[in-house]
A and B are shown apart, each in its own frame.
Chain A
Amino acid sequence: MHVPDGFIDAPVSVAAGAAAAAAVAVSLRGARRELDERTAPLAGLVAAFIFAVQMLNFPVAAGTSGHLLGGALAAILVGPYTGVLCVSVVLLMQGILFADGGLTALGVNITVMAVVTTVVAYAVFRGLVKLLPKKRRSITVSAFVAAVLSVPAAAAAFTLVYAIGGTTDVPIGQVLTAMVGVHVLIGIGEAAITSLTVGAVIAVRPDLVYGARGLTAPLKLRVGGELVDAPAAEPVPVAARSHRKVWLAGLTASLVLAGFVSFYASASPDGLEKVAADKGIDAKAEDHAAADSPLADYSIEGLTDARISGGLAGVIGVGVTVVAGTGVFWAIRRRRTSDTSPSSVPENV
């Protein structure tokens, strides 16, 4: 998923860099407003969490496994500003330390993976939370939908960047179909994990789920034996207004993207091109569905065999992911109905 050097031409890389810098600057201000002087330690620890959780392997089947990308999770757990910062810092460090993602492509990577993913996920999430009844179940369902949409949205954004500044003349319609198609599959996995994780957090510390603030009953204080309302802790007006803007912008963006997707997807590719597109799918799927822990990437030994065997595994993996993804969605719905009590705290911890 990390774009290397040379994939996007220099002017577009620079422009994406400027866009990323602007988004990060806005997020820095937003995060500081929300977390004030706690920003550095809290965002730093959340970034470390995102970095770590990307190494958590979720087995799919037949020896393949996927892992979390974490953008949607970050957005829902810590909000869009802090989320953008955390994912950007993770990408920056991956680029500089692990050479994962080119330095000139840093702007593209941050724009696509940190900004688009986080903002789309958060906008969809907040929108759904507002529409759905105020229940915990709604939070996990919204998290699922938000994550499902955020991944192909990022893929579409990447395609857009590629259409403007790609270094090879590949038919954009096909790139889009392949990218979005594959990433819908990846998105289903991402969504299942994200919603399960959000569900696990909300069962134990609902106050820590940023996107679900306002769902909890107001605190009471016992003063001289009587219950009185505790003073509201958050500066509501400022935050609410700016969120609405982000929310609207994000929703519009995702609608526009969705329009693009369906437009191009309807232009179905013909025979030969279809094969090529399928191959494209394999390559991308391998990137994610195969034993793809960042640790494997970063560790020096033990990488090659996973990659090579991943070729075949990737092909199988895609097929299995479709089936598995549907199954998971179904399983979650069943599980959610049977255990929504807060006492179902991770017994495995």
Chain B
Amino acid sequence: MGAGHAHKLYRHGHSPVHALPPHTKLAAVFAFVIVVVSTPREAVWAFGLYALLLASVAYAARVPAGFLLKRLLIEVPFVAFAVLMPFVAQGERVDVLGMSLSVNGLWGAWNVLAKGTLGVAASVLLASTTELRELLLGLQRLKLPPLLVQIASFMIRYGDVITDEMRRMRIARESRGFEARGVRSWGVLAKSAGALFIRSYERGERVHLAMVSRGYAGSMPVIDEVTASRAQWSYALALPFAALVVCLLGWTL
């Protein structure tokens, strides 16, 4: 557990994508997703081109297709939702295999599936080529409020510690014959959650003492800064720019 679930997301490597400064990657992914979302859904070919763009990034980053596809499973709940759209949506209907489906709904389903999948794939590529710490530095560089970055940083640092405490509590419960079965066990589980909150909060107080002891007075000292050259920026932004061209074509064609 010490290794942490967060670590599984990152694939160590030395590809050119790994080497890009984190804030350029964050900006690129963000811009890319915005472009994708703004694309008209009727331009089916455009989404194919986007997928190709992402595939080439994955190739450059040496992220295997299997890894990427497995991580895409996170969108399964929304696939289920999308499947329902043709049944519920209004408007003109067509008959497919004896079922009456809404044309509008079919387009809607396609829209959510295509854009959602591309969004997830882009995020997965980002997370698998950028270390956690780097992501935080990148967010800081992109002018996210420092306090928010600090909160995120503490959450990442202590996420594993607290999950591990929760796991130890579960083991302690089970070692004494408790079995979480049905609603009757909720009281016990909720007491664990309550105890976990108290432990977390008290740890927060102790961490604060440790910080104050080393001279903390409300703002984090700047220890590392990430910088990007013009070349690195243009390299990273090649992705959203290519996508933008596709998008504009999608609107005009």
Interface residues of A (CB under 8 A from B): 4-7, 9-10, 13, 24-25, 28, 31-32, 36-49, 51-53, 55-61, 68, 77, 85-86, 88-90, 92-93, 95-100, 102-104, 167-171, 174, 192-193, 196-201, 203-205, 208, 273, 276-277, 279-280, 283-284, 286-287, 295, 297-301, 303-304, 307, 311, 324, 327-328, 331-332, 335, 346, 348-349
The complex places the Cα of A52 from the Cα of B163 at a distance, in Å, of 5
Are B159's CB and A51's CB within 8 A? Answer: yes
The complex places the Cα of A224 from the Cα of B210 at a distance, in Å, of 34
The distance from the CB of A104 to the nearest CB of chain B, in whole angstroms, is: 5
Are B183's CB and A60's CB within 8 A? Answer: yes
Q: Is B56 an interface residue (CB 8 A)?
A: no
Are A204's CB and B74's CB within 8 A? Answer: no
Q: Per-residue CB proximity of B142-174 to A under 8 Å, as 1/0?
A: 000101101111111111011101100100110
Question: Per a CB cutoff under 8 Å, which of B116, B173, B180 touches A59?
Answer: B180
Which B residues from 112 to 126 make CB contacts under 8 A with A?
Answer: 112-116, 118-120, 122-124, 126
Q: List 11 A-B contacts (CB under 8 A).
A: A40-B147, A97-B132, A97-B135, A99-B74, A168-B89, A197-B194, A276-B88, A300-B73, A311-B80, A348-B172, A349-B191
Q: Given contacts A46-B201, A170-B88, are A100 and B74 in contact (CB under 8 A)?
A: yes
Q: Is B59 an interface residue (CB 8 A)?
A: no
The complex places the Cα of A203 from the Cα of B114 at a distance, in Å, of 50
Q: Per-residue CB proximity of B17-46 to A under 8 Å, as 1/0?
A: 000000000100110011011100100000
Question: Per a CB cutoff under 8 Å, which of B5, B114, B180 touches A298?
Answer: B5
Which residue from chain A places its CB closest to the CB of B86 in the assembled complex?
A: A168
Which B residues from 184 to 240 make CB contacts under 8 A with A?
Answer: 184-198, 200-201, 203-205, 207-208, 211-212, 216-218, 220
The complex places the Cα of A293 from the Cα of B88 at a distance, in Å, of 28
Are B197's CB and A197's CB within 8 A? Answer: yes
Instruction: Decide if the interface of chain B is mainly helix, strand, loop or mixed.
Output: helix
By a CB distance below 8 angstroms, the chain A residues around B119 are 4-6, 99, 102-104
Question: Per a CB cutoff under 8 Å, which of B112, B162, B172, B173 touches A49?
Answer: B162
Are B163's CB and A55's CB within 8 A? Answer: yes
By a CB distance below 8 angstroms, the chain B residues around A10 are 34, 37-38
Q: Given contacts A4-B120, A169-B91, are A204 and B111 in contact (CB under 8 A)?
A: no
Which residue from chain A places its CB closest to the CB of B118 in the assembled complex?
A: A5
By a CB distance below 8 angstroms, the chain A residues around B14 are none
By a CB distance below 8 angstroms, the chain A residues around B115 are 4-7, 102
Which B residues from 79 to 133 make CB contacts under 8 A with A?
Answer: 80-81, 83-85, 87-91, 104-105, 107-109, 111-116, 118-120, 122-124, 126-127, 132
By a CB distance below 8 angstroms, the chain B residues around A193 are 186, 189-190, 193
The distance from the CB of A319 to the nearest CB of chain B, in whole angstroms, is: 14
Beyond A42-B208, A196-B194, 4 extra complex contacts between A and B, CB < 8 Å: A31-B147, A104-B34, A168-B85, A348-B192
By a CB distance below 8 angstroms, the chain B residues around A92 are 148, 152
Question: Per a CB cutoff under 8 Å, which of A44, A304, A324, A349 touches B158?
Answer: A44
The distance from the CB of B126 to the nearest CB of chain A, in whole angstroms, is: 7
Q: Given contacts A280-B88, A335-B187, are A201 and B34 in contact (CB under 8 A)?
A: no
The complex places the Cα of A47 from the Cα of B105 at a distance, in Å, of 38
By a CB distance below 8 angstroms, the chain B residues around A24 are 145, 148
Are B158's CB and A170's CB within 8 A? Answer: no
Which residue from chain B places its CB closest to the CB of A307 in the assembled complex?
A: B76
The complex places the Cα of A42 from the Cα of B154 at a distance, in Å, of 9
The complex places the Cα of A316 from the Cα of B205 at a distance, in Å, of 44
Q: Is B53 an interface residue (CB 8 A)?
A: no
By a CB distance below 8 angstroms, the chain B residues around A57 are 180
By a CB distance below 8 angstroms, the chain B residues around A349 are 169, 172, 191-192, 195
The complex places the Cα of A277 from the Cα of B114 at a distance, in Å, of 24
The complex places the Cα of A45 from the Cα of B85 at a distance, in Å, of 40
